[in-house]
Amino acid sequence: MLHSCDQTRVYVDDNKKDLPEFVADTLVVSEDDDDDADGNNQSSDSCSNEETKKHQRRKFKMSLSVPSYSNDGFECVNEYALLSTIGVGSCGKVMLALNTKTNETFAIKIIPKKYLVANKGISYEVAIMKRLRHRHIVALYEAIDAVDENCLYLVMQYIDGGPIVKLDRHGQCEPLSEYLVKKYFRQLISGLSYLKRHRIVHRDIKPDNIMIDKYSN
C-alpha cells in the first residue's frame, strides 16, 4: 500500500494551489472507483477482501481530544490507547494505538501544530489524505485536535507488515521474487493511477513509503 509520510508533498493542479488548509470537500472523491492494474479488481483472499471493504466504507471524521488518561498503564487520547512508537519523522512521530471500544489497531501520527503553520505541505497532505479511499493507499480515518497539547493526532490505517523492503546501512536488501515484484508493481500502479485521475502527485515514492500488510498486499 502506498503511504504518505512527513516528507511527502502532495499537490493539486495549479488552479487549486491557493486553497486554504483542510481543502474543500469537493477536491477528490472518497471512494475506490477503479479496477486493479491486473484487471480483476479482487483481493488476494476472502479475509483480505472483507478488510478492504471495511476500510473503504469507513468515513473520515474530525474530533476534539478529551483529557488523556491511563488505561492499563498506557496513555490514551479519546478511545485510543497509545501502545508504542513505531516511527519517527522530521515533523512528528507515529505510534501504534488500540481502539479500546472496538479492539482495532491503528497507526496514529502525532504532529505539533507549529509544523502545520511552518510547513503548508503537511496541511495539504492531511487535507487530501482525508478524501482518499483506495485499496492500495493507506487511509486517514480521523483527525483529533488536541487543544491543550497543541498538537494534531492523525488516526490512520495500520499496515502491520511494514515497508516493502528494509535497507541495511549500506542501502542494500534481500531481493524479492519475480512474482512479488510483479504483484507489488501492479498494486503500486493501481494506487498511482487513482491519484493521477484526481490530479494528485505523490512525489516521494521510495521503499519506506510502500507498506505491506499481513496478506502481502
DSSP secondary structure letters along the chain: -B---TT---B--GGGTTPPSS--TTSS-SS--S--TTS----SSHHHHHHHHHHHHPPPEEEEPPPP-EETTEEEETTEEEEEEEEEETTEEEEEEEETTT--EEEEEEEEHHHHHH-HHHHHHHHHHTT--BTTBPPEEEEEEETTTTEEEEEEE--TT-BS----TTS--PPPPHHHHHHHHHHHHHHHHHHHHTT-B----SGGGBB--TT--
208 is catalytic: no
Catalytic one among 36, 204, 208, 213? 204
Write out the catalytic residue numbers: 204
